[in-house]
Amino acid sequence: MSIIKQFPFEWQVGVRYTRAGKRSGRNSFISFISLISVAGIGLGVAALIVVLSVMNGFQKEVTDRLMSVLAHVEVFDTSGSMPNWQAQERAAYANPQVKAVSPFVETQGMLLNDETMRPSIVRGVLPQQEATVSSVASQMKQGSFKDLTPGSYNIVLGIDLAKALDVKVGQNVTLMLEREPRAGDPANGIVMPRMRALKVAGIFEAGHNELDGSLAFVNMADAQQLLQLDGPSGLRLRLHDMNQAPQVARELKASMPGQLWMRDWSRASASWYALVQSQKNMMFIILSMIIAVAAFNLVSTLVMSVTDKQADIAILRTLGASPFSIMKIFMIQGALVGLLGSALGVIGGVVLALNVGVIVPFIEGIFGLHFISKEIYQISAVPSDVHWLDVAQIGLIAFGLALVATIYPSWRAARVKPAEALRYE
């Protein structure tokens, strides 16, 4: 209290009005409404922090699974093949951000087993080098990634793709590839596709439905032979910092020789990231409205406070307080309520977000619920990733909305006329 007495009188009166008043039932009721406003702002802030943290956690989880298979940067030769890929590899390593490089061949085809047919992306790789740019070798559920030897015509399938084709390790699948028309083909324009039997040497699980259901690997030499290429399609690069991928791609395009084009991971997954970002933005807006409703409850609280304190306002005006000072008193009262609600919401939201992995199983155990299906999401726990910038923005927005809510009641208090206020006292 001694510290408060050192502040200007507007702050002293504003703090006093914010504290619980017990002189009458009316003051106690107004104080109760203030507590409800604080609780509403705090709950809205905490809910927004927890929801955004969970969405960030899901985004991080999916990103990690995507990046376990996708390269940070892919380098392609516009001619369709890169026969001098070793020289291009050395040129790529000249960039300090490049951690590992692996050549690859990629094409789209159809995989057949009996009467079942599935479209797939077939990627030809060098197993040892591929292990430096992706985690497929460590994600093998059956078989070995090292069995993709030159001339073996072995293939490694995603787990969902293998289930769809109903094949197991050791069985054969047929790969159909598009073939360009050539002399001797039928005059009616019908071109038979190229077909090759491949032996399933392994099955991997990346934990992402799109990858597990469409991706297959063969040896790069076999892929070149199937596509009749004199070199790989390009290079797959792993960087020290994946967030630098767009900048590194621009630098490599300028520094590497030849007619090349680059694709970084953010462009390869642009539609997915745009969808996630739009969902986060919509969730932010919707939950911010909850905070706005709670913040604007301050309007009714302060209007009631102004009505109750009219005699006090009149006395302060007769003692020489300006209308701006009266306005400042009630803005301070509302700002303190908004600050307290925002602070409690931030603390509570961060604590909840950091302990989602403990709280959710506890709730599931009590009510017999199961929020996350492992069969669908390939994860058994609700992920959470607290972004401190989000926390700061949410707290500032809540406090800002509370300040806006104080403007009208404070302006109304400044317009109270002392003579009229004291007429019936």
Q: Which among 67, 209, 64, 204 is positioned nearest to 136, based on CA atoms? A: 204
Place of tokens 């995603």: 158
| pLDDT tens, residue by residue, 103-145 | 999 999 999 998 889 999 999 999 999 999 998 888 899 999 9
pTM, to two decimals: 0.69
**Better-scored residue on pLDDT, 272 or 174:** 174
- Mean pLDDT lowest for which of 77-91, 264-278, 363-377? 363-377
At 187, give phi and psi (nearest 5°).
-70, -20
Work out the mean pLDDT of the chain and round it to a whole number: 82
**CB count in 10 Å sphere of residue 24:** 10
- Mean pLDDT lowest for which of 11-20, 80-89, 265-274, 374-383? 374-383
Cross-strand partners of 103: 235
Q: Which among 241, 244, 238 is positioned nearest to 92, based on CA atoms? A: 238
pLDDT at 185 over 50: no
Cross-strand partners of 120: 109
Q: Which among 306, 314, 321 is positioned nearest to 407, based on CA atoms? A: 306
In single-letter form, the type of residue at position 232 comes to P
Confirm if 112 and 173 have CB atoms less than 8 A apart. yes
Average pLDDT over residues 76-93: 90
pLDDT for residue 419: 63
At 98, give phi and psi (nearest 5°).
-80, 120
